[in-house]
Amino acid sequence: MNGEELSHIDASGRVRMVDVSSKPDTVRVAVAKGRIEMSPATCRLIAAGQVAKGNVLTTAQIAGIMAAKRTGTLIPLCHPLPLTDVDVRFAVNADAGVIEIEATAKCVGKTGVEMEALTAVSVAALTIYDMAKAVERTMRITAIRLVRKRGGKSGEIVLEEEE
């Protein structure tokens, strides 16, 4: 670490929810990315909407949005947030057998939306896996990460430049 204390640990070493009541409300935005890798044939089936369970990408998009909205109930010390927008997008490269997932979460609040963006990407990837596992069980979910965030006292943090 960089010399800072863990915010979810109190002076006695017990876990705690961080008290954000004195922080000002600001516009918060976070972008997360991840990917799911598979054979080109499976990727083509998904892109063409030909998987037996239905439209994989639309279902995964809805699942990611729903998951972002439930993040506070999934992660024990995460604050429930009044999200103002969640967007989940996919970039399919069928020749490489890769679906890139990007989620953006926004709110006006006292704490950031990184966990919501990361949860959206994670659940979208899991949904793709679930819907296509009958076709291919060797898919791999990889590279889930925060790529940028904005808002609060830390301002803008860019961990990856846009391509």
Q: What is the pLDDT of residues 45-95, one digit of tens each?
A: 999 999 999 999 999 999 999 999 999 999 999 999 999 999 999 999 999
More reliable by pLDDT, 20 or 163:
20
* Rounded Cα gap, residues 121 and 135, in angstroms: 22
Residue 111 Rama label (left phi>0; alpha psi -120 to 50; beta):
beta
Q: Quick one: pLDDT at residue 161?
A: 86
Strands 98-109 and 83-93: antiparallel
pLDDT tens by residue, 64-77: 999 999 999 999 99
Q: Which strand (E) or helix (H) includes residue 42?
A: helix 40-47
What percent of the chain is helix, strand and coil (3-state, nearest 5)? 30, 30, 40
Range among 12-16, 20-24, 86-90 rated most confident: 86-90
CB 46 within 8 Å of CB 132? yes
Question: Considering the chain, what percentage of its residues have pLDDT values greater than 90?
Answer: 84
Instruction: Examine the pLDDT at 97 and tell me if it is beyond 80.
Output: yes
Q: Of the listed 10, 19, 95, 130, which one is catalytic?
A: 130
Q: Quick one: pLDDT at residue 16?
A: 82
- The mean pLDDT value of the chain amounts to 93
Catalytic status, residue 85: no
- Give the residue among 77, 56, 71 at the shortest CA–CA distance from 129: 56
CB 96 within 8 Å of CB 7? no
Task: With both helix axes pointing from N to C terminus, report the angle between 114-132 and 40-47 in degrees, rounded to the nearest 10.
Answer: 100
- Give the residue among 146, 107, 125, 136 at the shortest CA–CA distance from 61: 125
Instruction: Examine the pLDDT at 10 and tell me if it is beyond 90.
Output: no
Q: Quick one: pLDDT at residue 3?
A: 47
This model's pTM is above 0.85: yes
Q: Quick one: pLDDT at residue 144?
A: 98
More reliable by pLDDT, 16 or 159:
159
Q: What average pLDDT does the segment 109-138 reach?
A: 97
Q: What are phi and psi of 112, to 5 degrees?
A: -75, 170
